[in-house]
Chains A and B, each alone.
Chain A
C-alpha cells in the first residue's frame, strides 16, 4: 500500500474511533502534546495506562470475589480506573466506570460483577483499537511518511 493510502486509512480509522465514542478529545490532546522531543509520547502514555488499568481490573475482580465485599475498596479502585481512562481519552471505559460506581453505591455484588464485565469489555475494545492505530502509524513512519496530526472536525 502506498504512503498516501496508508495515511488516508489512518485518518479514517482515527475518525471512526472518535465518532464511535471510543476515544474522546483527551486523546487528541495527547497527540497534540507529542512533538520531536517526544515522538513516542502517545504510545508511552497509552502503554502506561494499560499496564495500570490491567492491574486495577485484577484488583477489582479480586475484591468482588471476597466473601464479604468491601465496596468502598472496590469503589476506590473504580474511581482510579475512571481517572486513568480519562487521562488517555478512553471515553467508553470511563463511562462504564461511572456506571460501575453507581453499582458500588448500591452495594450490589451482582450488579458490580456485571459492571466489571462491561468495563472489561470496553477496556479490551479500546486496547485493540489503539493497537491497530499504532500499528498503522508505525507502518506509515516505516514507509518514510509522517503521521498526520489528527484534527477534530466533528
Chain B
C-alpha cells in the first residue's frame, strides 16, 4: 500500500506513517495514539505483545514502525523487539519510564533503533520517521548495489576507461540519478522481498583475486573476457557477472595506474614534501590533506575514501616506488610486505613524512587488508558508479589485521594495486550514483576535477585520532596492501575482519553521523534532505541493530553512507592511505 515512502520526494512524507504502538498501560496507549495522530501518522494500538505480533504477522507490510513498551506482562518488550526484528525487519522503538543505562543498553543490543523515555514528548514522536526512512535507504542501497552494480559497471565501462575519472560525476550523476530513481521505485515495491532475500555477495578474497589475476595474465590482458576468466579460474560458485564486474574494476584500476604514473611524485607532496615521490603535483592530495581534516577522516569519511581508493589510480604509481618507505615507518607489517621488492623500506625522508601521517593513523594498518577489501567488495558495489570500490575499502578496513602478514609488497609490481587515491576521487564522482548522497559526490566531483585535493592528506591523520582509527588503520593497511599487492592483484585476505571493522564502524557511528551530516550539508545538496540525515541521531540509535542486521552489506552501507560526507579532504586522506599502504 502506498505509505508515502515509495517516493522519498513525496511532500506528504512522513505523514501517513503506519505506526503500531504496543503498551500494556491503557493510559499511555491513549496518549500515544493521540500524539501520533497529531503527527499525522496512522496509529494502531495494542495492549498485548502477543496481539501485536499477530497483527504484524497478519499484515507483513502493514506497518512501518513499531513502538513498544519495555515492561509488559505477557511478553518482555525485548523479546517482542527481537521477534519483530527477525520476522518483519521493521524498525522498533522501545519506551520506558525507566531510563537506566543498563536497560537502554539492553534495548539497543536487542536491536531497538531508539529508546525513548516516558513521558514522551511530541517532538520525539515526530522524528520517528527517520528510522523508517533510514532503513529504507539502506535497503535500497543494498538492493541497488546488487542489482544495479553490474549494469552500471557494464554501461560505464567505456566511459570509465576513457576519462580519467573526473568526469564521472558530471555525466553520471544524471544518469545515475535517473537510474536510481527508477530503482528506488522498483525496489520499493520489492522491499518486502528484498529484505529477506538479499543477494549473495561475492567476496573477492585474496586467493580469489589472485586466481582472477592469474587467469587474466594467462589469457592476456588484451584478450581477456569474463567468460574466459571464469573458465580459467575454475571457481564453481562464481558467476560470469561476478567476474565481469570485478574485471571492470580491475581494468579501471589498471588504467588509472597507468595514467597516474607521474603521480608518484605527487604522492610525495603529502604534507611533507620531502617525500620523494616523483611528482610533487600532489594530485593525490595526500600532501596537504593529511594535516587538516583529520576529523573528517576520522569519522568515517575515511571509510568512504577507503572505498574510493579502489578507483584511484594514483596509488599504484606511488606505491610502486616511493611508498615503501612510508609504509615501513608505520607498520612493521606493511613495511615488510611492501618492501618485498624494495630494498629500503625504511629510508628516505619522504617515507618519514609519509609515515608521519600514517603513524597517526595507527600502526595496525593492514594495507593488505585494505587491498583485499577493495577487491572483495568490488562486485558488489552498490553505487552505480565507482562507489563500489568504496565498499571494498570498507572491508579492507576490517580486514586489516589478518592481511598484513600475508602480502609481500612488491612495490614494483604494484600495478594491480588500485590507486587508492584515484579511487577516492572516483568515488566523488561515483558517489553521485545511487546513494542519496549523490549531491555530495557531484559536488565533490566538481571540486575534484583537477585532482584529488590536497586536503585528502589531512583527512587521513584525522582518522587516527578518532575511534575511527580502526578504519583508518584498515585504510592504511589497505594502502599498504595495495602497494604490496603483487602484480596479480589484491591480497584479499581481508574478509575476516569485516566484523572487526563493523564493530568499529558501529563505534564510530556516532562520529560518522555528524560527519555525514556535515558533509552532506556542506554539499548542500537536496539529497541530504531526503537522506534523512537531518537528525543524525546516530548516537541515539547507533543502530547496532541495523548494523548487525546487515553484516554482509555493512560495507555497502557504509560506503554509501559515507559517500555523502566524503569531501575532498577525505579523498586526500584516502589517497594518503593508499600510499601508505
Contacts and interface: CB of A to CB of B under 8 A. Distances in A.
Interface string A31-56: 00100001001001100110110000
Interface in B13-37: 24-28, 30-31, 34-35
Contacts of B71: 76, 79-80, 83
B119 A86 contact: yes
A84 B119 contact: no
A119 B96 CA distance: 20
Given A45-B31, A84-B27, A87-B27, A29 B98 contact: no
B238 interface: no
Given A76-B71, A79-B71, A79-B98, A89 B119 contact: yes
Interface in B105-132: 118-119, 121-122
Interface residues of A, number: 23
A82 B31 CA distance: 16
A88 interface: yes
Contact of B121 (A29, A88, A89): A29
Contact of A33 (B35, B97, B98): B35
Interface residues of B, number: 19
Contact of B27 (A29, A33, A48): A48
A38 B25 contact: no
Contacts of B121: 29
B60 interface: no
Contact of A45 (B30, B69, B122): B30
B219 to A, nearest CB: 69
Given A33-B34, A38-B34, A41-B34, A26 B27 contact: no
A33 B28 contact: no
A82 B97 CA distance: 8
Contacts of B24: 80
Contacts of B119: 25-26, 29, 86-87, 89
Contacts of B228: none
A3 interface: no
A29 B25 contact: no
Interface in A58-83: 76, 79-80, 82-83
A35 to B, nearest CB: 8
A87 B25 contact: yes
A49 B97 contact: no
A83 B25 contact: yes
Nearest to A38: B34
B27 A52 contact: yes
B38 interface: yes
A45 B31 CA distance: 7
A33 B25 contact: no
B27 A49 contact: yes
Given A79-B71, A86-B119, A87-B118, A30 B31 contact: yes
Contacts of A87: 25, 27-28, 31, 118-119
A33 B26 contact: no
B84 to A, nearest CB: 21
B513 to A, nearest CB: 29
Contacts of B30: 44-45, 48
Contacts of A79: 71, 97-98
A80 B38 CA distance: 26
Interface in A78-113: 79-80, 82-84, 86-89
A82 B71 CA distance: 12
Interface of A: 25-26, 29-30, 33, 38, 41, 44-45, 48-49, 51-52, 76, 79-80, 82-84, 86-89
27 contacts: A25-B119, A30-B31, A33-B31, A33-B35, A33-B38, A38-B34, A45-B27, A45-B31, A48-B27, A48-B30, A52-B26, A52-B27, A76-B71, A79-B97, A79-B98, A80-B25, A82-B97, A83-B25, A83-B71, A83-B97, A84-B25, A84-B27, A84-B28, A86-B97, A87-B25, A87-B118, A88-B27
Given A25-B119, A52-B26, A83-B71, 18 more contacts: A26-B119, A29-B119, A30-B31, A33-B38, A44-B30, A76-B71, A79-B71, A80-B24, A80-B25, A83-B28, A83-B96, A84-B25, A86-B97, A86-B118, A86-B119, A87-B25, A87-B118, A89-B119
Query: Ordered nearest first, which 3 A-B pairs have the shortest CB separation?
Result: A83-B97, A26-B119, A87-B27
